Amino acid sequence: MNKLFPIVFGLIVAHLSGAAMAEQSFLASLAQDKVLSWQFSPYTLHFSPSDDHKDVVMVGVEREHPNAKLDGVTFFTNSFGQPTVYVYPWGGVYHDIAGINHLSFKWTAGLLYGYKDPYQDKVPYNHAGFSPAVIPALAYEFKPGWSAQVNVLGTAGLMFQLNAPFN
């Protein structure tokens, strides 16, 4: 059953995203006056490795508004192999920090869902799988629209991520 959930979830998302892609007005309104990016993370470094840890793989979509606000959603398997979602309606980006071109500081805040028994205590303030999250990050744009990013996951670790333009 545990292996069936990600497969069914993936099929539902693929089906819905296919319908959304076909509806150009939906995408046009979603991205109007905004920068829309795909996100992918193939690796997370844990500060305190454990035999319980599994590989963490993340995919998501992020919007940057003209006023430098961020919002988005990511889907990933958490450090314990549980399907998890992070929805962040709040965030911001500060470009060319410390006078370095293409270097950005980002922050997001939102809600995590997916850390369940027996790992519900691995994230703070978890209630029934839901917990608040704030994630700071540094990103470097190495090609227009393409950037490498490092997310700081509290005292747990670092997530390495690639952002690509949504075309």
Q: Residue 33's pLDDT is what?
A: 77
Spatial contact of 78 and 52, defined as CB atoms under 8 Å apart: no
Per-residue pLDDT tens over the stretch 76-132 = 999 999 999 999 999 999 999 999 999 999 999 999 999 999 999 999 999 999 999
Over range 11-29, report the average pLDDT. Answer: 57
Check the CA dihedral 139-121-54-75 and report its sign.
Answer: negative
* Average pLDDT for the chain: 88
**Residue count (the chain):** 167
Residue 1 has pLDDT above 50, yes or no: no
- In SS3 terms, 95-151 reads as CCHHHCCCEEEEEEEEEEECCCCCCHHHCCCCECCEEEEEEEEEEEEEECCEEEEEE
Residue entry with tokens 């995590």: 112
Residue entry with tokens 């995919």: 59
Residue 18 has pLDDT above 90, yes or no: no
Full-prediction pTM beyond 0.85? no
End-to-end CA gap in the chain: 35
Closest-CA residue to 135 (of 96, 83, 167, 91): 91
Spatial contact of 93 and 68, defined as CB atoms under 8 Å apart: yes
Distance CA 121, CA 129 (A): 10
Tokens matching residue 31: 């991205």
